[in-house]
Structure 1
Amino acid sequence: MTGTLIQPTIIKNILTGVLLCILIIALIYIMPLIGVFAWMVLPLPVLFYRLKTGRNASGVIIVASLTMLIVFTQNFAFNTLYFGSLLMTGFFLGEFIEKHLSVEKIMLYTCFAVLGTCAAVLFIYSLIYAQGIDNLISNYISRYHALSSQLFSESAQLYPEMNVDRQMLEKASSLFVLIFPSIFINSYLTMVWLNIILIKKVLFKKGIIVKSIENLNQWKAPDYLVFGVIALSIFIFLPIYTLKIIAINCLIILMFVYFFQGIAVASFFFQKKRWPFALRFFFYTLIAIQPLFMFLVIGFGLFDTWINFRKLDTAM
């Protein structure tokens, strides 16, 4: 009797999860501008139903969603792998949140798990279609480089009155491609962090508190990362081109880690001083659109390693 009651509920949850995933993917395809924000919440349905219904049901949601994507787009390539990685992000986030790991471990393990799964899929794909992984990746990077160059060129054509130097645009395009790995990783980390915040709020409304993700505004990066910042800053000035590019990308990623810490510091004081939502929203919007405020937040996060603003405030 219990089984017959539980079974329809699980099926309903699976169908709802698949529907939500497909709607978000469709929104990304149909409305690209809104899709920029929609892709960040794509892992959320899988994450929610992973915690609610378990491992098997959430796995079915992922497989069913990707199958429908392949059927509708008639394309089994990087797009499928891309959306699959986002859905798997929700799955692995649920796995590690359920284990009550620390926030750093939840994010780090999720990144490695998704990366490992994608690498395995690429390896199997290359074996089936007799094409090396290096060729697949190089072709994708070449297409991306051509697309970014075209974007910069079109920008110059749209604004001829600005007398934009085409050579400068080409250099900017090349630089953007070189730091693309760090930009991609930072955007992925942002998505993971956002989904942790959202699932925390969803669980809180249902009366469920997960201690490992409860006090995110008290999060602090490990102290030893400061030595990484110092070392990478030195590597940038070395006359070895490859090492310099790697150092720049790693430094950008570390700065983003301190950006998270700076946001945690700001959020801590917002909560302590009970700032209204409108004022918080205005502040976060300024951070998103104004680079100066972003660098200021990074500075707060970095110096919090030594000064520990939140501890000083508590002591007062």
Structure 2
Amino acid sequence: MSEGSTENPEIRSILRNILLFSIALVLPGLQWTLFGWLHMLLPVCVFYLLGRYGIRSGNRMVLSSLALALLIYLLARRVDFFLLSVSLLPVSYVLIQSARRRESPAISGLKGVLVLAACWILAFAGLSIGAETSFYAQLLLTLDKGIGEALQYYRTSENISSDSLLLLETTLQQMKVIIPVIMPAMLGSFILLITWFTMVSGNKLVTRTCGWAPWEQYRYWQLPDKLIWIVIISGMIILVPTSPMRSFGINVLILLSIIYCFQGLSIAVFFLEKWNIPIFFRSFFYIMIIFQSFGTVLLLVVGIGDIWLDFRKLHQKPEEPGD
């Protein structure tokens, strides 16, 4: 199937897709502790529907699912969760349009991140209507209260030694100071992860089911070399004694570190596939390298080092027949 062609869905497929997507929209709002992880899949679902069935047919399925989900949310009086779910969807439209224009993963990802960030700002503003404090301030207060309750629990516990209690108190007190400073980077990290996951997963799904690839395979993705200058400038800003400037530099540096981890992971995928590592060992490696702090640092170092070392040799010019 070519890039311009789309699948003409049957009635059964339409109803199935609407029902499944509606369930994915509703479950996080009804029981977030069990199904909150489904929020990560919502943009992927929209990207897949738009990529497989086209903007017109896919959009009808999405809107029908949203109407059904809104009805359930109104009955359950959880419209705030519906607003949060809806804020995750526009990024899929931006990404699929960018993919059809044959824009690079870096440009597409940048557009997706900006749109998702704008949607979250609007969602936070909407959730702040009628409240004494903004939703962002409420979030900070909730985290601060949670840390305080954890600190109080450890202080009253008889199973913790005095040395361990001192260490926990020091750590939790530091968290109360650091979290308000890096909260923008924490929210930005979720935006980056959702956009990256949508692009990688959506690219794989659409390529397998539709016969056209929105972007090249993930193992070939590469960031612009000039992006490293923002890392250098952010590192210099951290040295500025002014507190707002330092906070800005710290948040930017955290976000860029995550972006370069994505590049480091693409390099790891490249060599694992090049060496034909069995899928079982490959999955084990992914889990270890992502969830271990050393693995994250390794991905960051590899991602930045690729700027100068070009591990995958993507910048090498092909040899001419006469050479």
Q: TM class, shorter-chain normalised? A: 0.7 to 0.9
Letter in 2 for 1:183: M
The correspondence of residues 44-59 of structure 1 with structure 2, limited to 5 A, is 44-51=44-51, 52-55=53-56, 56-59=59-62
Instruction: Indicate the larger mover: 233-242 or 105-114.
Output: 105-114
What secondary structure, in the 3-state scheme, does the structure 1 residue paired with 2:312 have? helix
- What residue is the counterpart of 2:17 in the other structure? 16
Q: Percent identity?
A: 20
- What residue is the counterpart of 2:192 in the other structure? 189
TM-score (normalizing by structure 1)? 0.82
Are the equivalent residues in 2 in contact too, given 1:17–1:46 (CA < 8 A)?
A: no
* CA 1:235–1:122: 2 relative to 1, 3 Å: closer
Give the alignment's Cα RMSD to 1 decimal.
3.3
Question: Quick check: 1:60 aligned with 2:63?
Answer: yes
Q: Per-residue displacement from partner, 1:28-72 (whole Å, max 9, x unpaired)?
A: 75362x535432212222222222142441551463255135224
Cα distance in 1, alignment partners of residues 126 and 315 from structure 2: 54
Are the equivalent residues in 2 in contact too, given 1:14–1:60 (CA < 8 A)?
A: no
The structure carrying a bigger helix percent of its residues is: 1
Q: Per-residue displacement from partner, 1:73-112 (whole Å, max 9, x unpaired)?
A: 30333x3332112233333333333333211222221222
Q: Per-residue displacement from partner, 1:137-169 (whole Å, max 9, x unpaired)?
A: 333433343345435655666763432442431
Instruction: Indicate the larger mover: 89-98 or 260-269.
Output: 89-98
The runs of 5 or more residues in structure 1 that have no matched partner are: 1-5
What secondary structure, in the 3-state scheme, does the structure 2 residue paired with 1:54 have? helix
Shift of 1:12: 5.0
Shift of 1:121: 5.8
Are the equivalent residues in 2 in contact too, given 1:223–1:305 (CA < 8 A)?
A: yes
1:224 to 226, 239, 243: 226
Are the equivalent residues in 2 in contact too, given 1:18–1:64 (CA < 8 A)?
A: no
The correspondence of residues 259-278 of structure 1 with structure 2, limited to 5 A, is 259-278=261-280
- What residue is the counterpart of 2:145 in the other structure? 146
- What residue is the counterpart of 2:134 in the other structure? 135
Letter in 2 for 1:42: L
Cα distance in 1, alignment partners of residues 176 and 130 from structure 2: 32
- What residue is the counterpart of 1:92 in the other structure? 94
- What residue is the counterpart of 1:3 in the other structure? none
The correspondence of residues 237-256 of structure 1 with structure 2, limited to 5 A, is 237-256=239-258
* CA 1:136–1:198: 2 relative to 1, 3 Å: closer
Cα distance in 1, alignment partners of residues 265 and 123 from structure 2: 35
Cα distance in 1, alignment partners of residues 257 and 91 from structure 2: 23
The runs of 5 or more residues in structure 2 that have no matched partner are: 1-6, 319-323
TM-score (normalizing by structure 2)? 0.80
Are the equivalent residues in 2 in contact too, given 1:219–1:264 (CA < 8 A)?
A: yes
Q: What is the count of residue pairs matched by the alignment?
A: 305
Q: Per-residue displacement from partner, 1:273-294 (whole Å, max 9, x unpaired)?
A: 1111111111111112210111
Shift of 1:228: 1.2
- What residue is the counterpart of 1:42 in the other structure? 42
Shift of 1:266: 0.8
